[in-house]
């Protein structure tokens, strides 16, 4: 039976981020995506004007109906927009043998708040304990933990693997850092690209779970996913006035 990856995220009408990014990325690696939309958005390449969470009970019904038919072993979670959603998704995922990758989206790349602060306790209590790989950027890591140092923040989350991405830093050369059980395991260095991009985090996290589904070890999946994401940005497409969309249709 062919592998499939359950994907939960928001719908971005300009297709740079969210469920479109997840489907394109996972399809690039030859795996089928099972998309469940968590949030509708009024969005373009300049800003997010409005979000509308999908009813948590409706999400639960979709998940249960999928599981009744399709074997689910791999999960990628992106945008979540309410505590009720988080609790419903966590309830579905618990007591299953899964590999779960979470991209903890708090704000859009245009700095619009997407995950309300009121939902953070539910994220920490119900969902993080189920996650195998977390992919926060520096700002998201600071929201998830108020510990002092980066390592202390990572350790406080109690997730086995945490890939801290640093594209939101101002450095000319950026270093992404992979932690295992709270200790620095490996780092990956890239030249920071100029310009504004939309959906790199979605692309990265979806590539990681797709590569793990192909059988790669976590550190190798992270390396290959970072390389792939970097290439999608090098050939990014400008379809609107501001942020470019990663070109995920690479040969």
Convert the pLDDT of each residue in 148-191 to its tens digit. 999 999 999 999 999 999 988 878 899 999 999 999 999 999 99
Q: Which domains does the chain have, with CATH numbers?
A: 4-234 (3.40.1190.20)
Q: How confident is the model at residue 251 (pLDDT cuts 50, 70, 90)?
A: low
Longest Cα pair distance anywhere in the chain, in angstroms?
Answer: 49
**pLDDT score at 210:** 98
**pLDDT score at 171:** 81
Q: How confident is the model at residue 195 (pLDDT cuts 50, 70, 90)?
A: confident
Q: Tens of pLDDT along 109-141?
A: 777 788 999 999 999 999 999 999 999 999 999
Q: Tens of pLDDT along 90-111?
A: 999 999 999 999 999 988 877 7
Half-sphere exposure of 98 (CA within 13 A, CB side): 26
Q: Beta-strand (E) ranges in the chain?
A: 4-11, 32-43, 48-53, 74-77, 99-102, 133-134, 161-164, 173-180, 183-191
In angstroms, rounded to a whole number, what is the distance separating the alpha carbons of residues 65 and 175? 41
Q: 31 with 91: CB under 8 angstroms?
A: no
pTM: 0.97
Cα of 108 vs its chain's centroid, Å: 12
User: Mean of the per-residue pLDDT values for the chain?
Assistant: 95
**pLDDT score at 170:** 79
């Amino acid at each position: 039976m062919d592998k499939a990856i359950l994907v939960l995220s928001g719908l971005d009408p300009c297709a740079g981020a969210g469920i479109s990014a997840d489907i394109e990325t996972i399809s690039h690696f030859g795996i089928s995506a099972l998309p469940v939309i968590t949030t509708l958005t009024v969005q373009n390449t300049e800003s997010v004007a409005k979000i509308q969470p999908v009813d948590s009970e409706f999400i639960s019904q979709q998940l249960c109906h999928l599981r009744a038919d399709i074997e689910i072993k791999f999960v990628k979670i992106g945008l979540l927009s309410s505590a009720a959603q988080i609790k419903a998704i966590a309830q579905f995922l618990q007591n299953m043998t899964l590999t779960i990758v979470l991209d903890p989206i708090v704000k859009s790349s245009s700095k619009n708040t997407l995950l309300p602060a009121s939902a953070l306790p539910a994220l920490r209590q119900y969902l993080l304990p189920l996650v195998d790989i977390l992919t926060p950027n520096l700002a998201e890591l600071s929201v998830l933990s108020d510990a002092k140092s980066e390592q202390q923040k990572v350790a406080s989350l109690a997730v086995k693997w945490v890939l801290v991405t640093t594209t939101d830093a101002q450095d000319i050369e950026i270093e992404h850092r992979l932690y295992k059980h709270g200790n620095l395991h490996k780092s990956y260095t890239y030249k920071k690209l100029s310009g504004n991009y939309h959906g790199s985090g979605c692309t990265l996290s979806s590539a990681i779970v797709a590569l793990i589904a192909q059988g790669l070890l976590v550190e190798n999946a992270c390396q290959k996913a970072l390389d792939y994401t970097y290439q999608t940005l090098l050939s990014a497409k400008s379809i609107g006035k501001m942020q470019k969309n990663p070109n995920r249709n690479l040969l």
